């Protein structure tokens, strides 16, 4: 069986995602669509709107055959780390294709990715989303999807995974668009509408997503404010400085303003500067919240979230049990999966769910 991988967040799953899965299957003629998905915290440095199990279920119902999880410590990081983890997992699972949404599918992603190699080695410590944007400032590569695509190409080459890259033209809406028009809108526009309790997003998502959203607690940073506020107020600058990604005195800046902040939104407002993007700051805060210290990249296994019978056949035929955790053992929870477990434990304090003892099988 030939598999096509898609690295995704589905936060939440919308018509654009469904279109991408369909199109990728047609274009590649793959037997199987594998989703490599973020868990309960996502790349923008915030909790996912709905939990990972519900998102995995929707994916299976809407065109995926197998959904596995990106460990949280990589899922919440910049394009470079996020792509590294995604490609590493796709490669381990033996995918032949990697499909992704793109504003400019005609770009030579592989060739463009060489700029990353030069820049990563030159300026390793400075790499962040701001920097990524600057890097491509004079090119036609402006969208975060294309930047992600270039990062995928970079790691595909670096890890020698030899997947065929399949950029799929995105329809209408830009990723960062905040408008909803017709039946295609970005996940961020949909989240915005949901959190503001508007209902104009409904045309832009499949019925299956709508069903889940309607009966779910929608989770946002504000839900974790008491805990984050407590963490910040009970930490010294030195302790915050030991958290991954905190640098250039940002720990002092946080401690200077937290005393006057009475909500997450207020804290963010006070922390914003020209130097740091909203996403950078959120990533710092989620690293503090999850108490993540600097780590070396290492993924030995990925957790199975959901599969249909085709997905299960694929695992069996390719003897992937050593790479895919169908049950998470105590040892996994204490090693590879320790931070993801912590993230899940905390997420469940806000939005309790019963999933998790075993994957969802359809």
Binding footprint of a copy of itself on the chain (CB under 8 A): 226-227, 229-231, 233-235, 239, 259, 289-291, 342, 345-346, 349
Secondary structure (3-state) at 174: coil
Which of 286/323 has CB closer to a copy of itself?
286
Smallest distance from a copy of itself to CB 167, Å: 39
If phi over 0 gives left and psi between -120 and 50 gives alpha, with beta otherwise, what is residue 197? left
Smallest distance from a copy of itself to CB 64, Å: 31
Smallest distance from a copy of itself to CB 271, Å: 18
- Cβ atoms of residues 326 and 317 within 8 Å: no
Which of 136/225 has CB closer to a copy of itself?
225
Closest by CA position to 209, among listed 221, 223, 193: 193
Q: Strands 164-169 and 97-102, how do they pair?
A: parallel
- Cβ atoms of residues 40 and 216 within 8 Å: no
Cβ burial, residue 153 (10 Å; 0-12/13-18/19+):
buried
Which of 56/240 has CB closer to a copy of itself?
240
Which of 26/242 has CB closer to a copy of itself?
242
- Cα-trace Rg, the chain: 20
Closest by CA position to 311, among listed 36, 100, 17, 23: 36
Which of 59/258 has CB closer to a copy of itself?
258
Smallest distance from a copy of itself to CB 3, Å: 36
- Cα–Cα distance measured from residue 204 to residue 184, given in angstroms and rounded to the nearest whole number: 5
User: In the structure encoding, which two tokens stand for residue 280, read together?
Assistant: 């950078």
Which of 229/318 has CB closer to a copy of itself?
229
- Identify how many contiguous H helices and E strands the chain contains and give both numbers: 18, 10
8-state DSSP, 25 = H
Smallest distance from a copy of itself to CB 324, Å: 25
Smallest distance from a copy of itself to CB 230, Å: 4
- Cα–Cα distance measured from residue 153 to residue 163, given in angstroms and rounded to the nearest whole number: 9
Which of 17/253 has CB closer to a copy of itself?
253
Smallest distance from a copy of itself to CB 32, Å: 36
Secondary structure (3-state) at 133: helix
Smallest distance from a copy of itself to CB 235, Å: 7
Which of 2/233 has CB closer to a copy of itself?
233
């Amino acid at each position: 069986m030939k598999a096509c991988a898609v690295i995704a967040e589905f936060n939440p799953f919308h018509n654009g995602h469904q279109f991408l899965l369909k199109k990728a299957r047609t274009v590649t003629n793959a037997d199987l669509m594998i989703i490599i998905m973020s868990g309960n915290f996502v790349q923008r440095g915030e909790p996912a709107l709905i939990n990972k199990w519900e998102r995995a279920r929707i994916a299976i119902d809407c065109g995926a055959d197998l959904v596995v999880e990106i460990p949280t410590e990589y899922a919440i990081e910049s394009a470079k780390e996020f792509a590294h983890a995604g490609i590493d997992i796709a490669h381990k699972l033996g995918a032949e294709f990697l499909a992704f949404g793109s504003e400019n599918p005609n770009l030579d992603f592989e060739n463009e990715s060489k700029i990353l190699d030069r820049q990563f080695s030159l300026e390793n410590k400075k790499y962040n989303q701001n920097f990524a944007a600057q890097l491509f400032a004079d090119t036609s590569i402006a969208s975060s999807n294309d930047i992600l695509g270039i990062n995928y190409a970079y790691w595909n080459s670096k890890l020698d995974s030899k997947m065929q890259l399949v950029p799929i033209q995105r329809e209408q809406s830009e990723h960062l668009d905040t408008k909803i028009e017709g039946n295609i809108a970005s996940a961020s526009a949909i989240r915005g509408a949901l959190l503001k309790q508007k209902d104009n997003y409904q045309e832009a998502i499949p019925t299956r997503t709508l069903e889940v959203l309607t009966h779910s607690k929608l989770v946002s940073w504000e839900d974790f404010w008491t805990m984050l506020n407590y963490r910040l107020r009970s930490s010294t600058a030195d302790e915050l400085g030991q958290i991954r990604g905190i640098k250039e005195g940002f720990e002092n800046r946080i401690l200077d303003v937290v005393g006057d902040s009475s909500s997450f939104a207020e804290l963010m407002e006070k922390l914003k500067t020209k130097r740091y993007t909203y996403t950078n700051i959120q990533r710092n805060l989620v690293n503090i919240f999850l108490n993540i210290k600097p780590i070396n990249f290492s993924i030995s296994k990925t957790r199975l979230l959901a599969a249909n019978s085709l997905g299960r056949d694929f695992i069996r035929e390719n003897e992937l049990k050593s790479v895919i955790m169908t049950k998470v053992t105590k040892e996994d929870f204490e090693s590879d999966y320790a931070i993801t477990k912590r993230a899940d434990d905390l997420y469940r304090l806000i939005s309790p769910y019963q999933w998790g003892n075993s994957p969802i099988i359809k």
